[in-house]
Amino acid sequence: MERLSVLCNHFDNDDNNQYLLQSNDVVATSTTNSNNQQTASVNNLLQLSSKIQLDSNKIEKLTAILFDHPDKQLQEDRNRLVDKLKDPIFEWKPYVSFHELRELTQNRLVALSHDPVLKCSEIVTNYKKFSMFQSTLVYSDMSLAVKSSVHWGLFAGSVACLGTEKHEKYFNDIDTCKMNGCFALTELGHGSNVKGVETIAEYDPATQEFIIHTPSDTAQKIWIGNAATYGCFATVFANLVSNGQNYGLHPFLVQIRDTKTLEPLKGISTADNGPKIGLNGVDNGRIWFNKVRIPKDNLLNKFGDIDNAGVYSTPIKNPNVRFNSMLESLIGGRITVANMANSAAKMGLYIAISYAFTRRQFGPTNQKEELLIDYITHQRRLFPQLAEVYINQVGINYVINKFQNKTDKDARDVFLLACGFKAATTWNRSKTLQLCRECCGGQGMAASNKIGILRADTDVDLTYEGDNTVLMQAVSKALLQEFKSYFTGTKRITGMLSYTYSKGHIGIFLRNKNFFTKRLHTESHLLDPDVLLDAFIYREFKLLRLLIKTLRGKVKNEKMSGIQAWNSSLDLVLQLANAYVERVSIEKFLEEVQKASDDIKPVLLSLCVLYELTKIENDLGWFLSNKYFAPIKGQAIGNTINKVCNSLRDHAIPLVKAFDIPSQFLTAPIIGDWVAHYSNPKNF
């Protein structure tokens, strides 16, 4: 709390240098001893890392970290799923037609439901298993993974999380795909702004039914997965109206098709969204409701209910809090999207790095040409992405555990962590697959080599389950709310800032622009992950301070409304959210490194340092313009990145093997003997 008081003084008075420098001296002294203890190991980081041989035993340790040290049951569940995916129906088929792929994906979903590995009830009780299930399906086929995520994650998840005990009777039919489901929230006129959804569900007390109706063209449900052909039931979000009063969005279970004929029921019209740039195994569609009647009990009534007379009741009186609680109950889907995106990035890296160790190009006359992996440009493109996949996975695991064990107290924290990590991980997935495609040259274009198809199939994750730009705004808004809550003494909104407050760094960084590390560019200094972490902490809080001042100035001096000030500052808003996610990612990874055995710790630290240096280099303009680094240090950062990349060269194959991608999915020809493969004229 004392550090927060100092921080408050800084915001109120920028010229209070005497007190601020005194605070710096105290904190700097307390950190010097611990830094000295680490100097020897930091100086030798690259040397220690290069001496390590990542044998099968060490690879297993890395795999355990990536899978968050799974217990025996989770390992058995994954093995069972992998065995099920060996059935010929799941064989990789990149050349089937549009309609064949739709039918194949549906048949694969049904095949998964036979003696199911995952059950509807486990989405609530064993979320870690659900996330593992979905991230593994990515290796088999992205269309199947998304279709499964819609059916079990969104449809089943909404019934389980938003319904009550009386809705548990549907679980078995959902698990066995007798109730093929979809999730109807998005409308033509409203996607990210779900509060603007127009669909009506008006209660009729005479028949004790709800009447579901599409009141306008913009109210049609659109881009609904499973809705074009195969979905027979839907969780429909509509405005609950009773006795003339609108109580806002609520979820309703609605049958939309006959389960045998697949024909739409009376009052329901559907249409196909047609071919897409990817993910064509998923039948996205549109739905219109023309005064469709459903039983009163089809209201998923965890957060709001109606009695027979139409009197509304709810455990959460505040409509905004109630609405947020509904969405937060389904946040597991957003976390799963992040986990699935990281799996896609892993597959791309496995293929591209494997190819780089066998493909040669250019070199000395009359000698073997150089391997692609030995070009620093190749390492510079692939190894930072490899590091980020490791860092992101540990962060995702952290959020998964927070979600599985969440309480009412930290539900908002989980919601916002999920927003941040979903955006950061999917953006990285997009960049990673593009770089992997380029690093494989023309071979990256081949459908048989998977990267191109995976890139197209996963592109939707940037906007579904929340547009990334909108999600990052939610993160920054929460940071501002928590900051305000401390200084006004109001109730804490989230715990997003408390960890950093407790580290004791803020007194140093926000007050002293000339601290002793500013001009240091020695290798030991730039290879210290804790020293580099300080830069991320500084940036986050400096951006927070700048955003507060900017918003205040626009409202006070430029006479803008609050929303005008916010919209005109969105560049800063996104910078702050990104800074927050990167800082949390580093902290969580370093926590995991501290628990790791000494025989893999130097490699993990090298990955962390590479991630940190790359992120700093990417935002070097900010650090230089804010005088956190001197220009000479910026140059040294680039040189050090090259050295770290080179030190990871011999670890690259073991590091991707630690992803534990089942061998049945590693079918890309360029992973193996691609010369023999392409020597056969019949092969693609």
CA distances in angstroms from 670 to 51, 361, 447, 455, 484, listed in the order given: 29, 15, 12, 17, 54
As given in the structure block, the two tokens for residue 664 are 């049945």
Q: What is the Cα–Cα distance from 454 to 106, expressed in whole angstroms?
A: 19
- Positive or negative, the CA dihedral 358, 361, 363, 365 is positive
Contact 618, 611 (CB under 8 A): no
Which ranges constitute the DSSP H helices of 44-96?
A: 45-51, 56-66, 72-84
For 218-262, give the DSSP string. Answer: GGSEEEETTTTTT--EEEEEEEEEETTEEEEEEEEEEE-B-TTT-
Encoded amino acid at 537, one letter: I
Neighbouring residues of 114: CB distance < 8 A, sequence distance ≥ 6 = 176
Contact 120, 152 (CB under 8 A): yes
From the list 336, 340, 279, 283, the residue with the least C-alpha distance to 138 is 340
From the list 136, 143, 142, the residue with the least C-alpha distance to 83 is 136
Q: How far is residue 651 CA from its own chain's centroid?
A: 26
301 three-state secondary structure: coil
Find out whether 225 is annotated in a ligand binding site: yes
Q: Which 8-state DSSP code applies to residue 155?
A: I
As given in the structure block, the two tokens for residue 496 are 């997003």
Q: What is the Cα–Cα distance from 611 to 389, expressed in whole angstroms?
A: 10
Q: What is the Cα–Cα distance from 56 to 459, expressed in whole angstroms?
A: 34
From the list 131, 139, 61, 81, the residue with the least C-alpha distance to 658 is 61
As given in the structure block, the two tokens for residue 590 are 């370093």
Residues assigned a catalytic role: 465
Q: What is the Cα–Cα distance from 64 to 600, expressed in whole angstroms?
A: 12
Neighbouring residues of 40: CB distance < 8 A, sequence distance ≥ 6 = none
From the list 588, 650, 521, the residue with the least C-alpha distance to 49 is 650
As given in the structure block, the two tokens for residue 167 are 């809705």
371 three-state secondary structure: strand
Q: What is the Cα–Cα distance from 617 to 623, expressed in whole angstroms?
A: 9
Q: What is the Cα–Cα distance from 452 to 464, expressed in whole angstroms?
A: 20
Beta bridge partners of 238: 250
Find out whether 244 is annotated in a ligand binding site: no
From the list 51, 58, 3, the residue with the least C-alpha distance to 30 is 3
As given in the structure block, the two tokens for residue 184 are 């109807």
Query: Could you give the maximum distance between any two Cα atoms of the chain, in Å?
Result: 91
**How many other CB atoms are there within 10 angstroms of residue 381's CB atom?**
20
As given in the structure block, the two tokens for residue 641 are 């990145």
Contact 288, 220 (CB under 8 A): yes
Binding site: which residues?
186, 225
Binding site for FAD: which residues?
186, 225
